[in-house]
């Protein structure tokens, strides 16, 4: 029996009712909170910053998975640790010294993640995979919620899973972007361990039921 993690993306929450949405995730079968930090430089959008994450952290009762879509992420590793991040993911494309960045994240007691843009090959992680706790495969171009899933993602997940097995690594695979009940099972069958779902969850009439359905579909 699989134990796929479902991580609602707070980017898609209703910010006028943020506390209500956080309580919904707390009460749901979701496993993680996925928090998207965007700087307007690495991606063409600005999400929110430290004060909002601090407010989320005060109410969130599950693992906090922070995805940094920012340039120069090394500058903020300690800050995000202090803001309650359990998993801290940086972009491959934003790191000149990725190995060093991963060690710095782990030295702060967080799990270290690496996100790959759709054009970035999983083979580029060959020499560093054993140092990565989580790889986040972007299944949309980062910057906005509500985009369509890129079909090539299934092949990337399979290739990455193969690399992880070959290298004897314990890395888990997360998928971020356009996740729905229509692709969730196929993603897990390809090798995904964590599914980030934003608009599919927060635009649903029955949000708790939608999360429960995703969990049921992917854990059988």
Residue 96 CB-density burial (10 A; 0-12 exposed, 13-18 middle, 19+ buried): exposed
Per-residue DSSP letter, 10: G
Distance CA 187, CA 183 (A): 6
Query: Catalytic residues, which ones?
Result: 36, 176
- Residue ranges in 107-146 that form contacts with ligand 5RP under rule CB under 6 A: 140, 142-146
- Please, what is the minimum distance in Å from the beta carbon of residue 173 to ligand 5RP? 15
Residue ranges for the known binding site for a divalent metal cation are: 34, 36, 67, 176
Asked if 11 interacts with ligand 5RP (CB under 6 A), we say yes
CA distance linking residue 34 with residue 53, whole number of Å:
11
Please say which residue, 89 or 104, places its beta carbon nearer to ligand 5RP. Answer: 89
Secondary structure of residue 90 in the 3-state scheme: strand
User: How far is residue 39's CA from residue 46's CA, in Å, rounded to a whole number?
Assistant: 5
Dist. CA 10–CA 181, nearest whole Å = 18
CA 216 to mean position of chain CA atoms: 20
- Regarding 66 and contact with ligand 5RP (CB under 6 A), the answer is no
Whether 19 contacts 59, CB under 8 Å:
yes
Enumerate residues 139-178 that contact ligand 5RP by CB under 6 A: 140, 142-147, 176-178
Closest residue to ligand 5RP, Cβ-based? 198
- CB closer to ligand 5RP out of 136 and 190: 136
Residue 98 CB, nearest approach to ligand 5RP (Å): 20
User: Which residue number, 146 or 212, has a Cβ lying nearer to ligand 5RP?
Assistant: 146
What's the closest the beta carbon of residue 8 comes to ligand 5RP, in angstroms?
Answer: 9
DSSP 15: G
Question: 91 phi and psi, to 5 degrees?
Answer: -85, 135
Rule CB under 6 A: is residue 21 a binding residue for ligand 5RP?
A: no
Residues of each annotated binding site: 9, 34, 36, 67, 143-146, 176-178, 198-199
Q: Give residue 125's Cα distance to chain centre.
A: 17
Rounded least distance, CB 12 to ligand 5RP, Å: 5
Enumerate binding residues for ligand 5RP (CB under 6 A). 9, 11-12, 34, 36, 140, 142-147, 176-179, 196-200
């Amino acid at each position: 029996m699989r134990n796929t993690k479902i991580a609602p993306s707070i980017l898609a929450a209703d910010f006028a009712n943020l506390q209500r949405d956080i309580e919904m995730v707390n009460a749901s079968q979701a496993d993680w909170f996925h928090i998207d930090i965007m700087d307007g430089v690495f991606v063409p959008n600005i999400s929110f910053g430290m004060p909002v994450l601090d407010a989320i952290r005060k109410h969130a009762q599950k693992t906090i998975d922070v995805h940094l879509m920012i340039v120069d992420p090394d500058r903020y590793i300690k800050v995000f640790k202090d803001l309650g991040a359990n998993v801290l993911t940086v972009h491959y494309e934003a790191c000149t010294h990725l190995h060093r960045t991963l060690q710095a994240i782990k030295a702060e007691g967080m799990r270290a993640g690496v996100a790959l843009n759709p054009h970035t090959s999983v083979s580029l992680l060959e020499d560093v995979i054993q140092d990565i706790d989580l790889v986040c495969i972007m299944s949309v171009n980062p910057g906005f919620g509500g985009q369509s899933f890129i079909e090539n993602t299934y092949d990337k997940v399979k290739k990455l899973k193969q690399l992880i097995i070959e290298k004897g690594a314990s890395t888990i695979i997360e998928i971020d972007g356009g996740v729905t009940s229509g692709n969730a099972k196929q993603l897990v069958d390809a090798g995904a361990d964590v599914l980030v779902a934003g608009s599919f969850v927060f635009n649903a009439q029955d949000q708790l039921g939608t999360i429960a359905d995703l969990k049921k579909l992917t854990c059988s």
